[in-house]
């Protein structure tokens, strides 16, 4: 059923899409592969249920239903074998808001916060805009994959008392192994570091194993962490703004909820709760088919680069629906890369510089899209590169 559904392209250029705003700037022929939402429809059951809610014609204030916590708890247990008490789960509209609240209310100005780099830019911005210092721990890039430099991470933990983990990692797509997470947890306990873990891409783990929540493997981390989960990426509903925070430490949880109340963050979006109820209870089969579709999209990209654009190296990653690509073999600047994509190929990707200095010579592309559009994008890349090479020859 789902292949046909996922193969249908929906034009979002006129629905205020952040991802497709590029068409207003550069023209309707542009293809966007940048912002991390999917050009694949949400589950039909979810769509139908929201349509039913919509027909009431009244969009009043919403409260969390009695079964919210139990639905989230059962989803975490079913998908990650993670057990948590209902009262340890709290609602927050967006993960980035949760991270900002913690930074602002639980840390001090000029305090250092550690993060693995390259890193998702809004999280780095949340640190800087809250007047804290980014303590960067650069990942090791070798043989087409990324690993953690644990000696450097230990040095960071000697300075910073908060660590923001992105799991799976964005932008590289790296899935952290049990050993990776155990070593992080051990260092956190040694130096008294609190962990904020952004697990929004948790359901896109193509490693063959279940996603591991770091607080599941360490009693210290369980008491000194906030784990951020959400149906947003998984079911393509980020615009509905709902996330679930897992906070086992009662003092932290109570203080955090107090700050949310102070900010007026107490009523969920009208559509967000119905969407979560359907997605987390009835859409597991749809999710399996979605993952299979995206997995094969990734294979298509890998094979195309190998055969048609060997200068591009797709990073060997096992997580997310994003692909991190090394273009250093082309020996071109990011300015030339932008010209290749925006002007010659009519494609937008996420530029490596957006993820910090460690992102230079890379770009990120979103492959959660209908297969025909993906293949057209790849052909455009190939043709655009040929035009770029011809321009280079003409200038010699």
Residue 355: DSSP 8-state: G
> How does pLDDT run across 147-174, given as a tens digit for each residue?
999 999 999 999 999 999 999 999 999 9
Query: Which residue segments constitute the domains of the chain, with CATH numbers given?
Result: 2-43+284-395 (3.90.1150.10), 51-282 (3.40.640.10)
Q: Are 241 and 272 in contact (CB under 8 A)?
A: yes
Tell me the C-alpha distance between 209 and 23, whole Å: 38
Dist CA 175 CA 169 (whole Å): 7
Strand partners, 147: 140
Degrees to nearest 5, angle at CA 392 with 388 and 396 = 170
Q: What is the 3-state secondary structure (H, E, C) of 146-211?
A: EECCHHHHHHHHHHCCEEEEECCCCCCCCCCCHHHHHHHHHHHHHHCCEEEEECCCCCCECCCCCC
Cα 169 from Cα 177, distance rounded (Å): 12
Q: Across all residues in the chain, what is the average pLDDT?
A: 96
* DSSP type of residue 216: G
Q: Is the peptide bond prior to 324 cis by the omega test (within 30 degrees of 0)?
A: no
pLDDT of residue 224: 99
pLDDT digits (tens, 9 = 90+) for 244-267: 999 999 999 999 999 999 999 989
pLDDT digit string, tens, across residues 330-359: 999 999 999 999 999 999 999 999 999 999
The mean per-residue pLDDT over the stretch 134-159 comes to: 97
H/E stretch holding 324: strand 322-326
Cα–Cα distance for residue pair 377/31, rounded to 1 Å: 7
């Amino acid at each position: 059923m789902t292949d046909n559904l996922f193969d249908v392209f929906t034009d979002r250029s006129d629905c205020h899409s952040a991802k497709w705003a590029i068409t207003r700037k550069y023209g309707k022929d542009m293809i966007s592969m940048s912002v991390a939402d999917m050009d694949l429809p949400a589950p039909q059951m979810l769509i139908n249920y929201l349509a039913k809610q919509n027909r009431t014609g009244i969009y009043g204030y919403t409260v969390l239903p009695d079964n919210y916590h139990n639905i989230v708890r059962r989803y975490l247990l079913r998908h990650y074998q993670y057990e948590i008490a209902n009262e340890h789960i709290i609602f927050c509209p967006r993960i980035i808001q949760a991270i900002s609240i913690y930074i602002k209310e639980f840390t001090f100005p000029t305090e250092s916060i550690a993060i693995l780099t390259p890193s998702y830019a809004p999280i780095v911005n949340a640190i800087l805009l809250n007047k804290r210092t980014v303590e960067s721990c650069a990942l090791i890039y070798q043989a087409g994959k990324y690993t953690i430099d644990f000696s450097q991470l230990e040095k960071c933990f000697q300075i910073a008392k908060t660590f923001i983990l992105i799991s799976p990692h964005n932008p590289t797509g790296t899935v952290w192994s049990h050993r990776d997470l155990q070593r992080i947890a051990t260092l956190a306990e040694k130096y008294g570091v609190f962990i904020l873990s952004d697990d929004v891409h948790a359901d896109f783990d193509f490693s063959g194993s279940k996603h591991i929540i770091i607080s599941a493997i360490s009693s210290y981390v369980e008491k000194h962490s906030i784990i951020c989960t959400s149906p947003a990426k998984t079911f393509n509903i980020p615009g509905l703004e709902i996330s679930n925070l897992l906070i086992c430490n009662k003092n932290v949880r109570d203080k955090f909820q107090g700050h949310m109340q102070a900010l007026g963050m107490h009523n969920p979006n009208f559509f967000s709760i119905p969407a979560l109820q359907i997605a987390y209870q009835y859409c597991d089969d749809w999710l399996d088919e979605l993952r299979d579709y995206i997995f094969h999209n990734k294979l298509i990209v890998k094979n195309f680069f190998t055969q048609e654009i060997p200068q591009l190296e797709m990073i060997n990653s096992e997580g997310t629906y994003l692909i991190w690509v090394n273009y250093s073999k082309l020996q071109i600047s990011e300015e030339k890369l932008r010209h290749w994509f925006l002007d010659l190929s009519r494609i937008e990707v996420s530029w490596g510089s957006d993820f910090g200095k460690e992102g230079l010579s890379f770009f990120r592309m979103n492959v959660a899209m209908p297969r025909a559009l993906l293949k057209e994008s790849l052909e455009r890349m190939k043709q655009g590169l040929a035009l770029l090479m011809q321009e280079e020859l003409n200038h010699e």
